[in-house]
Amino acid sequence: MKATMTPELDQKWWSKNKPKLMKKTGLGDALKAYQVAEDQMDWDKTLKALSNVKRKVAEAVKLAGSKHSDTVTVLKKYPKIIDKKEKELEEKKKDAAARAKSASADAPKQKLGKSVVIWKKDLGTEITKKYKPDWLKELKGYAFQLKLNDDLLDVLEDEGDYVTPQQMVDDANAVTDKLVDLIVKELKATDAAFKKASDAKKRAALIKGFDDKLATIMNGAKKHYESIPAKRWLAFVKRKQQYKDYKVKTGFEIAIGALGVVGGAAGVAGAAATGGASLALGIVSLVRGVAQLADKIKDAAQEAEKVEKNLKGDLDTLLARYRNAEGEAKKQVQGGAEVGASVLKGILGTDTPFLATLPKCDKNYGLWQNKVAGLEVGGRKLSQAIMKGLQECDKLEKAMKQADAKKAGKYLDKLKKARASLQKGLDGCSDMMKRVSDADKNAPNLKKMLDALNSSNPKYAQIFDKVFPVVVNLTLAGANAGVGFKEASSTLDTVNTALGLFNDIASEGKDQLEEAIG
């Protein structure tokens, strides 16, 4: 780090410029927390986060010491920058408070407006800017459009919020950047294989394979774009509760265009290899995709169970605080008199751990529901993908049985083992889906219980003594069960076993496979 540098309130700046040998300071995390808070326009949270940045800067100066004198010089420039930023944030906080005070407490009833395009992008142009192989003439007509009901845009404009629409656009562009990088990676891999292939049919198959992957990736991106407006609107509603009942109508359109190839490549673009060898190689690609999907689901299941564990811990805290309050209440009543609801309410209404934990339960419940929903969608996709793989295995097995028994025998044995692994993976996925389905089915009862605790007059005794034990144990399937990480992990292991066997088959090469199975 050069002593002449000016520090930035940006986690990426610090990560890029900090000395590699310097001990962890916590400054990067503090800067990230500040950026997130500012992005949410929560000025109290932002000011608090900025104050933490100031503390971490002081700690970083001490850790840098004489070993990193230039870094110390730069870090000592932070206080002036932070002070200036704090003044800006205080002004924004005052402005927001003034607008909130003058705004009507009740918003008019929503009149759902027509859909308007808030963002669009020509994907073909973005891809070919980054990489364009010799055989690729153009990627024409590949485009995205994101739409939103215009009455929400009117509300944002009336409230003077021009940041939220821009954030929607920024989010869409960020997703697109990642998407383009993924497609360019596929394009480069296809080009590398294309240059090695001398056979026209092989080249045509590679081009067609890339075209199919491009369409698959584009269609798979839909959910990521559709969720953007709703997330940003939700952040706005947290500041403007009068619009909490307004509905978000999102639309996302995909145009799958045409892949144009140059000269000789175009002449063979429609050709496709056939026979057992091509089928075997196709299954390798298919199962590789299944393995990637299974890996994502394993990670998603692990995340879901982590949230579930946190939720279970918070619920246990609520129960423990209730039992503590119950004990305190019994000391206040005479003899065997029944503990009144008002006495319990008075104790729990001032119990800091109870009051702090309840909103955490609400937040983690919502997050857990999102994770479970994601697992449900992913599990269905994985089941369908494995089923397709099993069907292709059946076709390949028939082709192998028609081939020379001696040459095809070793492939057939591996195919049967690979097929068995895929079937085992399907069974594991089904087991996971049962857990996910049970959780999803029982979750509404937990939501009712949390809503009851948040009501103005909670019936604590009825909730904790009668409802709580049944609902929590049933919904969260017991403390040691979870929503399916064990099954998701097992599914990934068996799918990877199948992939290894298919890779063994494919490793012989196309020529050897064609000689054995046609």
Do 169 and 286 lie in one domain? The reply is no
Residue 6 lies in a domain: no
Tell me if 1 is assigned to some domain.
no
Say how many CA atoms lie within 13 Å of 165 toward its Cβ.
Answer: 20
| CA gap 510, 199 in Å, rounded | 12
What tokens appear for 49 in the block?
């986060």
C-alpha dist (Å) from residue 471 to 320, 327, 462, 467, 477: 16, 23, 13, 6, 9
Return the closest-CA partner of residue 199 out of 268, 270, 282.
268
Last residue of a domain, one of 267, 301, 324: 267
CA–CA distance, 56 with 173 (Å, rounded to integer) = 32
Residue the block writes with tokens 């997703």: 175
- The dihedral built from the CA positions of residue 208, 215, 255 and 387, taken in this order, carries a sign that is positive
- Which of 267, 292, 326 is a domain's end point? 267
Show the CA angle centred on residue 282, arms to residues 279 and 288, nearest 5°: 140
Q: Which of 273, 518, 509, 499 is closest to 399 using CA atoms?
A: 518
Task: Compute the distance between CA of residue 39 and CA of residue 491 in angstroms, rounded to an integer.
Answer: 39
Q: Which of 228, 243, 267 is the last residue of a domain?
A: 267
Interatomic CA distance for residues 321 and 262, integer angstroms: 72
Task: Report the C-alpha gap between 83 and 10 in whole angstroms.
Answer: 16
d(CA 247, CA 113): 10
Domain match, 160 and 298 both: no
- Kindly state the tokens that stand for 404: 């020379």
Domain assignment of residue 474, given as a range: 276-517
What is the distance between the alpha carbons of residues 389 and 108, in angstroms, rounded to a whole number? 54
**Total-model pTM:** 0.42
Question: How far is 369 from 374, CA to CA, in rounded Å?
Answer: 9
**One domain, residues 213 and 339:** no
Nearest-angstrom CA–CA distance, 71 and 324:
51
Please give the chain's pLDDT, 518 residues, in tens: 788 999 999 988 998 888 888 888 899 999 999 988 887 778 899 999 999 999 999 999 988 888 889 999 999 999 999 999 999 889 888 877 766 555 445 678 888 888 888 888 888 888 988 898 888 888 888 888 888 888 998 888 888 777 788 888 888 899 999 999 999 999 999 988 888 887 778 888 888 889 888 888 888 888 888 889 999 988 888 878 888 889 988 888 888 878 887 654 433 333 333 456 666 677 777 888 888 888 888 888 888 888 888 888 888 888 888 888 888 877 776 554 455 667 777 788 788 888 888 888 888 888 888 888 888 888 888 888 888 878 877 777 776 766 655 666 667 777 788 888 888 888 888 778 877 877 777 788 888 888 888 887 788 888 888 888 777 776 775 444 567 777 777 777 887 887 777 777 666 555 555 665 55
Give yes or no for a contact between 269 and 208, defined as CB atoms under 8 angstroms apart. yes
Q: Which of 319, 214, 207 is nearest to 270 (CA)?
A: 207
Number of domains composing the chain: 3
- Decide: residue 303, CB within 10 A, 0-12 exposed, 13-18 middle, 19+ buried: middle
Examine the domain organization and report whether 291 and 395 are in the same domain: yes
Element (H, E) at 237: helix 222-239
